[in-house]
Structure 1
């Protein structure tokens, strides 16, 4: 990775972490409060999500007007549109973990950097799940993939 790309990645990560910290999304109690619609509901996460969708929409509009990205030769745009069992199972697993722990990967990693003990437990469980996936679901070297390879998922846009 070139120095400009590395600096851009570092700046993006720091900005993302700052946004998570300022919005309170590293506090699992705030996230769980948003998910508790029958109890003491905390709507603050809805505003954070709306802001994230807005920023993403602006980025998508900017990308559509650009001939090419600034730091890489082509855009990587998802092309897979099919909703399948793996997508549904992954979304359900993500939502269940988020609802039980109050963390998703981004805030958990930012919380881990701040030394939050709950984040450490979540990240350890997340890494164990990733290792389990590699053992169970990913093909071994030389084994054929069970599903369509990555080019079906992301296509370069020039």
Structure 2
């Protein structure tokens, strides 16, 4: 998993090197998510990298009934992850990433719940790894790594430390 997370860090490094304009002009999260996906795609040859992808093979993504997240809209409040790394046809789901701007002051609950659900091995569309990234103009202010439907504390600490070592993380 560290190999995949190092690729996320490499993509973040390239993203921050080239996309400062997006933060300077306070561009929306969807544009930031898309531009990050462009850099992430370069790190995962042989994999598809998609934004707001709503399928698993031929099936549409749906969470079990009773969840707090809507799955019936295309307005952004849905299960569709911001960025995924996967193989569309098989399906083989490697990585789900939720991206937030640090200036977005709404609670992280929605994104955290999505990542817990998306990485839960008991749900039929589980991703191997989930990553929450909160971005400001210069670095990642908050990050969490999800495995098996929960935040993985050791991997989250390792990832935050790697971000700090590469100049992309907020020092604690």
* TM-score, normalised relative to structure 2: 0.30
TM-score by length of 1: 0.31
- Higher RCO (CA 8 Å, separation ≥ 6 residues): 1
Query: If each structure's strand is expressed as a fraction of its own residues, which one has the higher value?
Result: 2
